[in-house]
Amino acid sequence: MAPIPIPLDPELARAAGIQLRKGEDAFRENSSTIILPSKDAAFLNPVQEFNRDLSTLVIRTWANRNDEQKRKKWDERRARRDAKIKAGTWTKEPPATRAGKRRKLEHANGEVSAEATNSIPDEAVKDDTPANEAEGEEASNEAHYIPFKFTVLEALAATGLRSIRYAKEIPNLRWVLANDLSSSAVAAMKRNLALNFPAGRPIEEWKPDPNNPTTSTVAATVAATKAAKAAALKSSAAPTQADSSAALTSDQVTELEEAAANGDTEANQTLVAWRRSGAQIASPPKQDADAPKSSTPAAVLAPTASTSTAPAPVLAPASASASASPSAPRTYSQAETDRRKALEAEGINPNCKVRPNEGDAIVLQYMHRDPLKRFHVVDLDPYGSASSFIDGAVQAVADGGLLCVTCTDLAILAGNNYPEKCFSQYGGVNVRSEFSHEAALRLVLHTIATSASRYSRYITPLLSLSIDFYLRVFVEVRTSPVETKRTASQTGLVHVCAQCQDFHPQPFGKVSESVNEKRGTTFMKYGGSPGLAAGPECKECGSRMQTAGPMWLGHIHDTDFCRRVLAELDEDPLRFHTAARIKGMVTLAANEVEDALFYFTPSKMAGLFHCENPTLKTVVSSLLQAGFQVSRSHCAPGSLKTTATRAQCFDFFRSWVAKRAPIMWSNVKAGSPTRRLMGKEEARKELLAKFVVEGEGAEGKETER
């Protein structure tokens, strides 16, 4: 059962300026604060804070990697241009020519052509950028590097917590579209946006300070709050205790109350003295319409004492350039102007990067199939299965974009009680096995890969994790008719023994490299299935074989990307509450043996042999000395992945039984899989000899069979 989320203390929420209605609570997660009805607090699900932390980190890493690649290409173009200028052969192309080339590249044959597979469009929708900025961006692209900016779609946003965190914690984010079908959810989302990005306040004040990430402590936040309140009291010329009989405006009373709640003794004494004097609240002084309004620093939206041990971020002070008037007025399209006015009407800052939307997630994704309207990142986190959203998602994500998918229906994906439901949703079935959680990951990847291949797109899994009660996968989607042909060789069936769990993969196709001797060129040759990998009975124990799949048979992680994620995390380990667990899970994923299809658990295999369980050190050292690769698996505690086949792992246990852990055959039934497995001992004597069991020489006596 998931733990109950802990709300902010009402006094702390009030001190932070959060207005709660009856039956509501405020909850804070990392940089964001949301309000929920107390009865719906269970839907916040703090267990998935790890999911949100991991997603934020992965998207940051992905964006930084793309920015590096874009910067590298810009440097190369700049170097070629400088070389041409030096040689006197460079001529500047007119803007119309550059725009025509870009449109031709993006709309070739109605799809993004293969030439554009390595580039991601900088804009998903054209109406969000000021007109004067859009005109100047192309001109300045040659002289100055423009960082990679991207858009995000959260198709099932609910309270908007994830989108708010993305907007606050991911740099270079252009905007995120937070969608939900429920009108009540969208109303709650808008209220949370107004709480985190209020109108009438500079948007820069609501960003964590990027130059001071490690000193963002609760004490610093409290100090910033007190300093802001002190400045507010001073600027408003509130009366002191000596002049407590003077009239106070309602704003001054509110400021004094909030300052007193934050521990300001002088403000508390002034407020008490004013109340004792019996003075009435005065009307605020009229201000000239042409006079500039005074800017009152607002309180930091964070509790003075966090319910979590992780620190809250320090807010960056508004820069001088932010307050200065721009040299040229910003102009927007009519659609963008209307959108900004609608946000202000809801009390939301028009510069807020979160755009609330009410609509059907599937329809919304199909509306963004056009290459110029696609999102760079599509995030699917439904309650249950994501299968119905995947077809639209692989079309709505930009070329080279990131697709993030969560599935919480592990009873269907990782079990064999509902094979008909699993097949109808994911196009494959699982079987009862110790590696069912990794098989579930591969079923989800298979669904994404086959959905993408229908549109000449292919996937590259970056990170795939089995976490608690759900799965989370991050895949990169690109367009290439040639690479799509490899999908058949990366998917297939897996034949699994019902008793000993021995498995044999059977891919649907194969890829081989051929050489044209006449031309001296190489090309890829694609063929059909190499044939049945196993018969109806297991070759190891004689039990019946079961069939799982179709499922993804390729790699489930990108090792280089996983290491980038770890490097990004190490730059600021205090940024996330669940940083320790993220580091552990991603480290295991980065070090997993890529060529191993499934994991095995030595303790369960020892139970199959009815023998003493060897230590992990013994198993790993024996497999390494035999020439195999070995690593831990993130899916299950005590599990291992190795390039050794299941039959070769059985050989180790036969050697272990013969040299260190004799079996009490009186406890083994006749005809059991254990007797059939040990019956291969003589036939595989040469293979057994290569396993060096730790502590050889202290052999026990085996009882008679």
Backbone phi, psi, residue 593, to 5°: -65, 120
Residue 92 phi/psi, 5-degree rounding, is: -80, 130
Q: What is the pLDDT of residues 519-568, one digit of tens each?
A: 878 888 898 887 776 788 999 999 999 999 999 999 999 999 999 999 99
Domains plus CATH for the chain?
218-281+297-317 (no CATH), 359-556 (3.40.50.150), 595-688 (3.30.56.70)
What was the pLDDT predicted at 45? 74
Q: What is the mean pLDDT of residues 656-681?
A: 86
What would the mean pLDDT of 651-655 be, rounded to a whole number?
92
Query: Scanning the structure block, which residue is given the tokens 């990067």?
Result: 353
Query: What is the spatial distance between Cα 605 and Cα 613, in angstroms, rounded to a whole number?
Result: 8
Identify residue 123 by its one-letter amino acid code.
Answer: E
298 vs 145, 273, 301, 617, CA distance in Å?
Answer: 35, 24, 9, 58
Task: Say if residues 621 and 628 touch (Cβ distance below 8 Å).
Answer: no
Any alpha helices (H) in 492-613, and if so which ranges? 559-571, 579-591, 602-609
Q: Please, which residues bridge with residue 219 across strands? A: none
Rg, C-alpha atoms of the chain: 31
Of the chain, the percentage scoring pLDDT greater than 70 comes to: 71
Beta carbons of 465 and 437 less than 8 angstroms apart: no
Alpha carbon of 95 to those of 71, 73, 103, 142, 145: distances in Å? Answer: 21, 20, 12, 11, 17
Pairing mode, if any, of strands 375-380 and 397-407?
parallel
Name the token pair of 146: 């423009």
> How many other β-carbons are positioned within 10 Å of the β-carbon of residue 644?
22
> Looking at residue 324, what is its pLDDT?
38
CA-to-CA dists, residue 395 to 123, 378, 427, 453, 550, angstroms = 16, 10, 19, 11, 22
CA–CA gap between residue 45 and residue 695 (Å, rounded): 49
401, two tokens = 């974009």
- pLDDT at residue 19, rounded to an integer: 82
- Residue 144 above 90 pLDDT? no
Query: CA of 515: how far to CAs of 180, 490, 525, in Å?
Result: 53, 23, 10
Determine the average pLDDT of the residues in 208-233: 44
The pLDDT of residue 124 is above 50: no
Q: Are strands 32-37 and 354-358 parallel, antiparallel or unpaired?
A: unpaired
Sequence-distant (6+) residues with CB within 8 A of 485 are 511, 524, 526
Asked whether residue 308 carries a pLDDT value surpassing 80, the answer given is no
Whether the Cβ atoms of residue 155 and residue 194 lie closer than 8 Å to each other:
no
Residue pointed to by tokens 């320090």: 314
pLDDT band with cut points at 50, 70 and 90 for residue 5: confident
How many Cα neighbours within 13 Å face the side chain of 523? 9
Predicted pLDDT of residue 660: 87
Q: What is the pLDDT of residue 573?
A: 87
How many Å apart are CA 646 and CA 680, to the nearest integer? 14
Q: Which residue has the higher pLDDT, 71 or 285?
A: 71
Bridge partners, 63 (sequence order) = none
Cα torsion angle, 240, 242, 243, 248, sign: positive
Question: Could you tell me which of 295, 294, 300, 292 has the C-alpha nearest to residue 228?
Answer: 300
Q: What is the C-alpha to C-alpha distance for residues 502 and 533, in angstroms, rounded to an integer?
A: 12
Read off the amino acid at residue 239.
P
CA distances from residue 291 to 7, 294, 413, 613 in whole angstroms, order as listed:
42, 9, 65, 82
DSSP output for 78-119: HHHHHHHHHHT---PPPHHHHHHHHHHHHSGGGS--GGGTT-
CA dihedral 516, 519, 521, 522 (to 10 degrees): -10
Mean pLDDT computed over 10-15: 77
Give which of 498, 490, 499 is closest to 550, Cα–Cα: 490
**Of 503, 387, 408, the residue nearest 451 (C-alpha):** 387
List CB contacts of 493: < 8 A, sequence separation 6 or more. 505, 506, 508, 547, 548, 549, 550, 551
Q: How far apart are CA 405 and CA 377, in angstroms?
A: 11
- pLDDT at residue 38, rounded to an integer: 79
Note the pLDDT of residue 53.
Answer: 96
- Per-residue confidence (pLDDT) for residue 103, from 0 to 100: 53
Query: How would residue 467 be classed by pLDDT, with cut points 50, 70 and 90?
Result: very high
Residue 437's SS3 state is: helix
Q: pLDDT by residue (tens digit) across 326-377?
A: 445 678 888 889 999 999 999 999 999 999 999 999 999 999 999 999 999 9
Q: Is the pTM here over 0.85, yes or no?
A: no
Q: What's the distance, Cα to Cα, between the start and end of the chain in Å?
A: 47
Q: Which residues contact 514 (CB under 8 A, 6 or more apart)?
A: 522, 523, 524, 525
Provide the residue type at 244 as one letter: S
